[in-house]
Amino acid sequence: MTEDTIALLKENVIQGRKTQDDEGIEEGMAGTPGVLELIQMALEKKISPEAIITQALTAGMQIVGEKYSKKEYFIPDMLASAEAVGAAMDILKPHLEASNIETKGKFVIATVKGDIHDIGKNIVSILLKGAGYEVNDLGIDVPTEKIVEVVKKDKPDFLGLSALLTTTMLAMGEVIEALKKDSLRDKVKVLIGGAAVSDEYAQEIGADAYCIDGFAAIKVLDAFQEARA
Partner 1 sequence: MPREGILVHTPYERITNEQVLQIHQASIQILNDPGLISFNHETTEILHSNGAEVTPVPNSDHPCWVVKIPEKVVLRALDSAPKTVKLGARNKDNSLIMKGDEPRVFFVSGSETNIWLDVDFQAYVKKSEPTAEVLVPEFHPRRGTVSDLCQAAHLCEHLETLDAFIRPVNIQDKDITEDNKDVNKFFASLNNTTKHFMAGLTSLKQLDNVVNMAKLIAGGEDELKENPIISFITCLVKSPLQFVDDTSQTLIEICRKGLPVVVSSSPQAGTTAPINEAGIIAQINAEVLAGITLSQLVNKGTPVIYGSVPVRARLDNLNDSYGAPETSQYNIDCVQMARFYKLPCYSTSGVCDTKTPGTQSSIERLFSDILVTLSGPQYLHCAYGLLDGNSTFCLLQAVLDDAHFQMIKFFLKPPQIGQTEIDNSLKQIREVVTTPQKLYIRYIRPLMRSGQLSMPYPFEGDGEADNVLALANERMKQLLSQPVEHIDEATTSQIFQEIPGILPRLNIYEKRSQQ
Q: Which residues bind partner 1 (CB under 8 A)?
A: 16, 23, 25, 71, 74-77, 79-80, 83, 118-119, 122-123, 125-126, 137
Of the pair 25, 41, the CB lying nearest partner 1 is at: 25
Closest CB 117 distance from partner 1, rounded Å: 12
Of the pair 113, 121, the CB lying nearest partner 1 is at: 121
DSSP-assigned beta bridge partners for residue 94:
none
Q: Rounded CA gap, 164 and 21, in Å?
A: 35
Closest CB 213 distance from partner 1, rounded Å: 12
- Give me the half-sphere count of Cα atoms (radius 13 Å) on the Cβ side of residue 116: 0
Helix, strand and coil percent figures for the chain, each rounded to 5: 55, 10, 35
Of the pair 77, 157, the CB lying nearest partner 1 is at: 77
Of the pair 55, 81, the CB lying nearest partner 1 is at: 81
Closest CB 122 distance from partner 1, rounded Å: 4
Closest CB 56 distance from partner 1, rounded Å: 21
Closest CB 77 distance from partner 1, rounded Å: 7
Strand 158-162's sheet: what is its strand order?
134-137, 106-111, 158-162, 189-193, 209-210
- Give me the half-sphere count of Cα atoms (radius 13 Å) on the Cβ side of residue 79: 13
Residues in the chain: 229
Of the pair 49, 194, the CB lying nearest partner 1 is at: 194
Dihedral, 146, 147, 150, 154 alpha carbons, nearest 10: 180
